[in-house]
A and B are shown apart, each in its own frame.
Chain A
Amino acid sequence: MVDVSAFHCDYENKWCPGCGNFPILEALKQGLADQGLVPEDVLMISGIGQAGKTPHFLRCNFFHGLHGRALPLATGAYVANCELPILVSMGDGDCYGEGGNHFLAAIRRNPDMTLLIHDNRVYGLTKGQASPTSERGFVTKIQPKGVRSDPFNPAALALSQGAGFVARAYCGHKEQLAGLIGQAMDYRGLSVIDIMQVCVSFNTVNTYDWYKKRVYDINEQGHDTDDWNAAMDLAMAGGDRMATGLFYKKNRASFADRVPGLADSPLAARRYDPAQVQALLDQA
């Protein structure tokens, strides 16, 4: 068993005290250690925002890219080397706002990677504007009369588009999240975990107390993860009871499975063969 502390990083953490990202980070370390991985074997790719900073606070290989663009960046890395254990860390604005199109495309492409969305329903790094998952009526400095749009429903959208691994977690339930991360990493294809997260600085509505009263673990209740309709019902249910856990799991051909030859050996591992290239040039 790899020790969780192997993933400890000395780089100074820059999240607010009490931030919901801390328990997510702990769950992440636990999940990676449970997988028997060492930091040298892990690649995390992130976007922009507090969630985007996650790899800086974890010992691992990483590429901290642009706002919304972590998924195409990770997809490129995956195509180059489909054996890399890739985790993608994004925020709700990052993944569902700026990167919404990439989220849709990633579901369709199904690269083998674990997508963790730190969903705190508010823009933290830019100091408190509405996010795609903010409830309608959510008041911010920019939206003083409340958000006019309806919220994005990550799980329902992922399910409707055919995602093969859709889970929802709560940052306050670390063990459950660590377990889900493990299952997600074992899954061959894109696994989506929408993590309901608390922002102690800018979201005074969706607090730890607010979530505690509402969240429950569906897997403990014996939910059938093969049942797409049941998963969709869970995703659509709003209000006072918020389901967490693995909603749905189904095997789908991963991106590498769909490209002849890619699943056999990673592109990056192939040797350059001048004779083969010359033969192709000669045929042109």
Chain B
Amino acid sequence: MGIDVTVKVGGEAGQGIQTVGDLLAHVCHGCGLYVLGVNDFESRIRGGHSFLQLRISDRPVTAPDHRVHLLVALSPRTLDMHLSELAEDGLAIFDSQEADAGSNVVSIAVTDMARKAGGAIMANTVAAGACLALLGAPDSLLERVLKKQFQAKKAGVLENNLNAAQTGAQAVAEIDFAPAFAWPEKKPAGKLLSGAQILALGALASDCRFAAFYPMSPATGIMAGLTGFEGRAPLVVEQAEDEIAAANMVIGASFAGVRSMTATSGGGFALMTEGLGLAGITETPMVIVNSQRPGPATGLPTRTAQADLRFVLHAAQDEFPRFVLAPTSLDDGFETMGRAFALADKYQVPAVVLTDQYFNDSVNIAQKPLNAPESIDCHIVTDADMDDPKAYRRYEITDSGISPRALPCAGQALVMVSGNEHQQDGHISETIPDRIGQVDKRFRKLAAMEGEMRPPRTDYPDSRVLLVGWGSAAGAIGESVEMLRAEGMDAGGVYFTDIWPFPQQAAEEILGRCERFYMVEQNVSAQLGGLIREKTGLKCYQAVLKYDGRPFFPFEIARRVKAAEEAIDG
């Protein structure tokens, strides 16, 4: 049995919970372990209850575990809420001066120790020190990470933190913690990154030069990630006055010749739908990341969901071709951003990347190397490509439906673009031939766009029972499939990244072979299940749905599928 330990650190917002998580994650990754860290927080800056759940393993992990081995409670509420999650051999550390809180609860005066080490702000370092000591980690590991993190800070900060970490470690030195393990000292695999960071890196590698956004959880992290490259790459990140402006700025920048994107959540996407339609009819490439959270309206601002699929498929008035892609992992996230930009440019359509709070705010290991493409093709024509640039028509009727795209003020070709229905030259038209001609032209792209769609990734696709999902749920579904197989069930997993245009043939082939399939989605109506039925006629047997705003645990998916299967078997 390998290493698979979950540490949960909880407390009030503002207590530095995330810092503990970051420290632990970096220490673990630094010696070659795999981690998956989930941030769970309320929509508030101080107080309340938030936690960080870090799963540590010697194998890649793709979902949070429901069992907690080590609970660090920096507030009484954390202890109350999560004590029941402790595994049998688990232990809770409670920030208190009182002894004997319970058989598997140890009281340690974390905050008090932090104060003595130089300030209550270092409670998180004390906690990290205690956690690592309990888990059997050598002191040198945390020391290394702290040095890296604080060496640039003013004198005393590093020393105080080292001291705080040591005090934390000493406080638990006498405790025998069963899940402790022998720490490897090997080269770390991949990069420790959040979903938001990998999406930003994917955009950077796609030669995205302009990003406009209006702050909205949980999308802001993507923009924060990109902002760090301003000045180091030809990139401008602008905070717009609202999402409407952000979408229109992106369209304007793309029209004038640079790859551009915006990121928002469902509520902001609602405001952007007008712009999405403009990109649709003007055939301007744009990339929109919708980082989903539960709604409607403001919903649960800091929680996760997969309930905007139907919305992004149909958003904006009338119909026009678009791409909808939902990355299933960090590696997939990097690649998906690249494809979104490339496909948007190639077909002159909007591309929507569907992610969510769980994906964006969690940290995990990106295993594939992050490679910048050798070249970027934006599919732009210049005067040199034309026999007669003066006769250029932006919306020329073509067999492929794709009209040559020139840039404004780049030569003799006049580029005329209108959000009204138009003639081939871009001037407004209400004639029947122009209307039908342009609609047909736009939709002629669909056949080739369908050809770009990749089949869903699968595990054990020839199994009797398949669990089907999309986007960020893939990790949890994958692990639940392994659990079910370990229990003897002939189960497999199917995970869609490419959702629209729907990869119909691949879906039919894969799902048509199994005895029955389950949809596993974080919404209330199995939205992808409905789409699969609409496009293939295949109906899922049951849906395992979760819409409480929290990510799936593999265990709960497996439990529900198992129960359903047992009901069939009688």
Q: Report A's interface with B, CB cutoff 8 A.
A: 11, 14, 39-43, 45, 48, 53, 55-56, 59-66, 69, 71-81, 84-85, 101-102, 104-105, 259-262, 267-268, 270, 272, 274-278, 280-282, 284
Chain B, residues 383-413, CB within 8 Å of chain A (1/0): the string is 0000000000000000000000001110111
- In the assembled complex, the Cα of A42 lies from the Cα of B408 at a distance in Å of 8
Cβ contact of B408, chosen from A61, A267, A274, A277, cutoff 8 A? A61
Q: Please pick, from B229, B230, B257, the residue contacting A268 in the complex, using a CB distance under 8 A.
A: B257
What are 12 of the A-B contact pairs (CB < 8 Å)?
Answer: A63-B282, A66-B278, A72-B249, A73-B249, A76-B248, A77-B256, A79-B253, A81-B258, A261-B231, A268-B209, A277-B207, A284-B201
Q: A66-B248, A79-B238, A278-B371 are known contacts. Are A84 and B233 too (CB-CB below 8 A)?
A: no
Q: B330 CB to closest chain A CB, in angstroms?
A: 12
Nearest CB in chain A to that of B198: its residue: A284
Inter-chain contact B204/A281, CB cutoff 8 Å: yes
Residues in chain B near residue A74, CB distance under 8 A: 252
B186 on the A face (CB < 8 A): no
A39 contacts across to B, CB distance below 8 A = 414
Asked whether B473 is an interface residue with its Cβ less than 8 Å from the other chain, the reply is: no
Within 184-231 of B, Cβ neighbours of A (below 8 Å) are at 191, 193, 197, 201, 204-205, 207, 209-210, 212, 229-231
Give CA–CA (A69, B231) in the complex, Å. 28
Contact: B375 with A101, CB < 8 Å?
Answer: no
Q: Which residue of A lies closest to B422 (CB)?
A: A64
User: B274: which A residues are within 8 A, CB to CB?
Assistant: 66, 69
Report yes or no: A84 in contact with B205, Cβ–Cβ below 8 A.
Answer: no
B416 on the A face (CB < 8 A): yes
Q: Is B420 an interface residue (CB 8 A)?
A: yes
Contact A76:B251 (CB < 8 A) given known A274-B372, A284-B193: yes
| A64 lies within 8 A of B418 (CB) | yes
CA distance A275 to B374 in the complex (A): 9
* Residues of chain B contacted by A84 (CB below 8 angstroms): 256, 408-409
How far does the Cβ of A22 sit from chain B's closest Cβ, in whole Å? Answer: 18
A195 to B124, CA, bound (A): 61
Q: CB of B275 within 8 A of chain A?
A: yes
Nearest CB of B to A220, in Å: 35
Asked whether any CB of chain A lies closer than 8 Å to the CB of B141, the reply is: no
Closest B residue, CB atoms, query A275: B372
The reply to whether B376 and A65 contact each other, CB–CB distance below 8 Å, is no
- Interface membership of B234, Cβ < 8 A: yes
A232 to chain B, nearest CB (A): 24
Do A267 and B234 have beta carbons less than 8 Å apart?
Answer: yes
Contact (Cβ within 8 A) B244 A72: yes
Instruction: Answer yes or no: B6 CB below 8 A from chain A CBs.
Output: no
Bound-complex Cα distance A274 to B373 (A): 6
B236 at the interface (CB under 8 A from A): yes
A40, B241: Cα distance in complex, Å = 31
Interface check B522, CB cutoff 8 A = no
A61–B409 contact, CB under 8 A? yes
Q: Which of B260, B278, B413 is close to A80, meaning CB atoms less than 8 Å apart?
A: B260
- Nearest 4 interchain pairs by C-beta: A76-B252, A76-B249, A61-B408, A268-B257
Partner of B370 from the list A40, A48, A80, A284 (CB cut-off 8 Å) is A284
In the assembled complex, the CB of A59 is this many whole angstroms from the nearest CB of chain B, namely 7
Whether B162 sits at the interface, judged by CB under 8 Å, is no
Contact with A along B92-114 (1 / 0, CB 8 A): 00000000000000000000000
Contact between chains at B415 and A80 (CB < 8 Å): no
Q: Are B242 and A43 in contact (CB under 8 A)?
A: no
Would you call B540 an interface residue if the criterion is a C-beta within 8 Å of the partner chain's C-beta atoms?
no
Contact of A280 (CB < 8 Å), options: B233, B376, B412, B426: B233
Q: How far is the CB of A51 from chain B (nearest CB, A)?
A: 14
Of the listed residues B201, B240, B260, B416, the one surrounded by the most CB atoms of chain A closer than 10 A to its CB is B416
Across the interface, B252 reaches (CB within 8 A) one of A40, A60, A80, A281, namely A80
A161 to B204: give the CA distance in the assembly, Å: 35
CB within 8 Å of A: which of B313-368?
A: none
- Rounded to whole angstroms, the CA-CA distance of A276 and B409 in the bound complex is 28
Interface pair A277/B248, CB less than 8 Å apart: no
A240 CA / B312 CA spacing, docked (Å)? 53
B contact residues around A280 at 8 Å (CB): 204, 229, 232-233
B428 to chain A, nearest CB (A): 6
> Which residues of chain B are near A105, meaning CB under 8 Å?
240-241, 245
Partner of B240, one of A40, A72, A277: A72
Q: Given the complex, which residues of B lie within 8 Å of A73, measured CB to CB?
A: 248-249, 251-252, 255
User: In the complex, which residues of chain A have a beta carbon less than 8 angstroms from the beta carbon of B370?
Assistant: 281-282, 284
Residue among B210, B246, B372, B417 making CB contact with A64, cutoff 8 Å: B417
